[in-house]
Amino acid sequence: MKKATKPRKKLSELVETSPIKELATGITSEKLSAMFFDATKLQHQPDPLYRLDSAGHRYYYRMDENGEPVFYTSVTTMIRNTMPTSPHLIQWLISKGGDAGRDEAEERAHYGTFLHIQCAELLMNGTYNLDKLSEKLTVHLMLIAQKIPLDRISWADELKKDVLAYAQFIIDYNVKPLAIEICLYHPTDGYAGALDNVLELDWPEKGFFGEVYASGVNKGQPKESKQIRRIRVILDVKSGRKGFYESHEVQ
C-alpha cells in the first residue's frame, strides 16, 4: 500500500503567517518592514521583501505575481565577493594575530548594530535618554551572550559619544527622517539590501546665486555666496573612527 505523502506548501504560504518563520533546521525567513516610513512625504513603500538566513549566508527574495520567489543577493555579499579585501583590513588582521582580529571585527560589527538601533531611536523620537543607555546595552549583550562577552558593558562610554555626535549632526543640519531601515531591491541587477536612513536635511551650498559686488574693482561682477538647500539624502551610519574605505562608497 502506497504511503500517503503530505502536500508540500509553497514558500509564500510558509512565510506570511509570522514575521520570522523557520523553514527548516537552521534556515529562517523573515518578512522585512521599515522601522519608520513617512507616508506623507514618500509616494509608497516598495514591494514586501523577505530575508532568508542559512548557515551564515543571507539572501533576499520577494514574491512575484504568481506567488513564486524571486531571489536577490545581499549588497554586503556582492561587495565581499567582487571587491578585493582592503589592504588596511589585511594589515589590521595581521597586527591583531589572525583569529583574534576576526573576533574583534565581529565584536565591532555587534557594536555597530547596537549603535544603529540607538541612532534610529533618536531620529524617530527626537530625544534620547543617555541615562538608559547602559541598561539597554546590558539587555542587548545578554541576547548575544554566546558571541560577545558581557564585560563589553564598557562600550557604554564610547556609545554615548557616538550618540551625542549623531544628535549634533541632527541639530546642525535640521535632519528629519523619511525612512529608517527600509529594504529595497534592484529590479534587473539581482541585488537587495537595507538603507540605514533616508533623510531630509539642510545642505549649505556655495555658488553664484545672483549676488554681485557692490563696490571695488569687481563692482557689478558675480559674487560667490552660500545658500541653504533642503535636500533628500541616503545616509549610511558607520561606527568606525578610522575613515571611510572604497567598499563604503560602493555600498
Question: Looking at the whole model, is its pTM more than 0.85?
Answer: no
C-alpha span between 14 and 49 (Å, rounded): 14
What pLDDT is attached to residue 174? 96
In the prediction, which pLDDT does 87 show? Answer: 65
| pLDDT tier for residue 103 given thresholds of 50, 70 and 90 | low
How much is the pLDDT for 91?
66
User: Is it the case that residue 106 has pLDDT exceeding 90?
Assistant: no
Say if strands 191-207 and 69-74 run parallel, antiparallel, or are unpaired: parallel
Determine the average pLDDT of the residues in 53-57. 76
Q: What is the pLDDT of residue 203?
A: 95
Cell of 227: 545658500
Query: Which of 34, 86, 80, 32 has the alpha carbon at shortest distance from 56?
Result: 80
Q: pLDDT band at residue 153, thresholds of 50, 70 and 90?
A: low
Q: Identify the top-confidence range among 22-31, 36-45, 96-105, 141-150.
A: 36-45
Grid cell digits, residue 188: 534587473
Classify strands 36-37 and 225-235 as parallel, antiparallel or unpaired.
Answer: unpaired
Q: Examine the pLDDT at 160 and tell me if it is beyond 70.
A: yes
pLDDT for res 9: 44
Mean pLDDT value of segment 126-141: 89
The tens digit of pLDDT for each residue in 192-235 reads: 988 999 999 999 999 988 898 888 888 889 998 899 999 999 99
The per-residue pLDDT for range 58-85, each reduced to its tens digit, is 889 888 888 888 999 888 778 777 776 6
C-alpha cell at 73: 543577493
Cα 126 to Cα 131: distance, rounded to the nearest angstrom = 16
Looking at residue 242, what is its pLDDT? 63
Are residues 177 and 197 in contact, defined by beta-carbon separation less than 8 angstroms? Answer: yes
